[in-house]
Structure 1
Amino acid sequence: MNVVVNAAMSADGKLSSRRREQVTISGSEDFERVDRLRADSDAVVVGIGTVLADDPRLTVKDRDRRERRLENGEPANPARVVVDSNARTPPDARIVDEQAETYLCVSENAPVERRMNLSDRATLVTAGEKRVDLLRAFAMLQQNGLERLMVEGGGELIFSLLENGLVDELTVFVGPQIIGGRDAPTLADGDGFVENFPELSLEELEKVDDGVLLRWTVQY
């Protein structure tokens, strides 16, 4: 399995404002790059916070890219994966519509009624007692043929994936604005590392739109 984290952050490392509302950081050139990356992936992964804040659909926007996927024997859109320990995904969320297959990674602690309400909208992957056990969940996703995973946030999920040694590549667009705020989400939230910090090896640096694209491989 290959896991690529893709994110856009402000020059001061914020994913959005302290209100945790969607903020446009990228420009048209980076949006095209992200769409290409989605089209090349088996699945797009987000945490429940992203679903509740943005209600994303996470599908491929460009028709030609969808058609090429179909020509290659793949679904028009990659699968969607939500890491959602307590099954809080709304049944009417766009991420569980019929545009693509969706996997919901939940814990055993998720209320049964919520799981039942979602079971006909998505494939449930149960791993972990109170929180999703990411190693087990990703192993189960791999058993379902998902080898190329693109992670689109948020910061809590990205930190947890790094903590579990599951990230192979980190690609970040750094936009030309300052958001600020001690409570604004960052690229890797969660508890934070105090030792054994994951190290990055810079593979690519490119000016994109009015920002810069950085691509690292992750060293453990």
Structure 2
Amino acid sequence: MQTSEARPYVVLSCAMSLDGYLDDASDERLVLSNREDLDRVDGMRAGCDAILVGANTIRRDNPRLMVRAPEHRERRAERGLPPPAKVAILGHGDIDPQSRFFTHGDAQKIVYCATKTARRNHVRLGGRAEVVDGGDPVDAGFVLADLAGRGVRRLLVEGGGTVHTMFLTAGLVDELQLVIAPFFVGDGRAPRFVGDGHFPWHPGHRATMVDVRQMDDVVLLRYALSDRFEAS
């Protein structure tokens, strides 16, 4: 497991169903969380330097990836901090340049592409974001090192399953915050929390649970996944 200080502190945050799904298979976004938890996540966003998602999350959910609450935005402004940067991992595909990731807010936007598509996406995105060659395939360690070089000290990874798997199997997550919704999806076509892979945590090396919190009808499980864990 990599614990080098030469990368941001990485928090992986997501909500899933009781059977481990991030969404259902319909065209409508499935709401897994509740108002209290959404406000908690908004506060986490406000405390980070950058928020990272994968291309499939942008395609499926069309997120703005912005700090929503005015009070959270004001606290950042009072500290002289810009909005958290928006970061996407694109791989070999494309993203619609009209997605809200690009069109909403004035935060810095960075897209890491596979080598073969970096030039094409640089042209396609038309200056809406900085396009970076992230390797072929995109390397999570390179992404973190590059973000550290840009001054990102705390990174929030918000999905989806491919990105979760990439960072977790590489041992590059310091803290996991997992919210469990009180229902099942039961559809194998739907996206799951993680895919197949060799994870550093297994029956012989259990993750360390540091907190359990009930928020109305959902529960937050918080795990320390590295020796850099911050107990705040």
Corresponding residue for residue 200 of structure 1:
207
Structure 1 vs Structure 2: percent identity of aligned residues?
35
> What are the Cα deviations for residues 141-178 of structure 1, in whole angstroms up to 9, with x where unaligned?
11001110001100111011011111000001101111
Secondary structure, aligned partner of 1:206: strand
- Are residue 143 (structure 1) and residue 149 (structure 2) matched? yes
TM-score by length of 1: 0.92
| Whole-angstrom distance in 2 between the partners of 1:179 and 1:207 | 21
Q: Does 1:108 align with 2:106?
A: no
| Structure 1: runs of 5 or more not aligned | none
Determine helix, strand or coil for the equivalent of 2:11.
strand
Aligned pair count?
217
Change (3 A) 1:11 1:81: same
**Structure 2 counterpart SS, 1:80:** strand
RMSD: 1.9
Q: Is the 8 A contact 1:204 1:216 kept in 2?
A: yes
Q: C-alpha distance in 2, partners of 1:195/1:63?
A: 39
Which runs of no fewer than 5 residues in structure 2 stay unpaired?
Answer: 1-7, 228-232
Deviation, 1:118, is 1.6
Question: C-alpha deviations, 1:157-206, integer Å up to 9, x for none?
Answer: 101101111100000110111111223222112x3238864741000001
1:133 CA drift (Å): 1.2
**In structure 1, what is the equivalent of residue 75 of structure 2?**
68
2:124 maps to 1:117: yes
Q: How does 1:49-198 map to 2 (within 5 A)?
A: 49-75=56-82, 77-86=83-92, 88-97=94-103, 99=105, 100-110=107-117, 112-129=119-136, 131-189=137-195, 191-193=196-198, 197=202
Which amino acid letter does the alignment assign opposite residue 158 of structure 1? Answer: H
The answer to whether the 8 Å contact 1:199/1:219 transfers is no
Asked if structure 1 preserves the Cα contact closer than 8 Å seen for 2:94 and 2:121, the reply is yes
Aligned-pair CA distance for 1:80 = 0.6
- Seen in structure 2, the aligned counterparts of structure 1 residues 180 and 148 have a Cα distance that, compared at 3 Å, is same
Q: Contact 2:19–2:184 at 8 Å: present in 1 too?
A: yes
* TM-score between both structures, scaled by the size of structure 2: 0.87
* Structure 2 CA distance for partners of 1:111 and 1:102, relative to 1, 3 Å: closer
- Give deviations 1:68-106, integer Å, cap 9, x for gaps: 11111111x211100001251211111112511111011
Q: Name the structure 1 match of 2:218.
A: 211
Letter of the structure 1 residue corresponding to residue 88 of structure 2: V
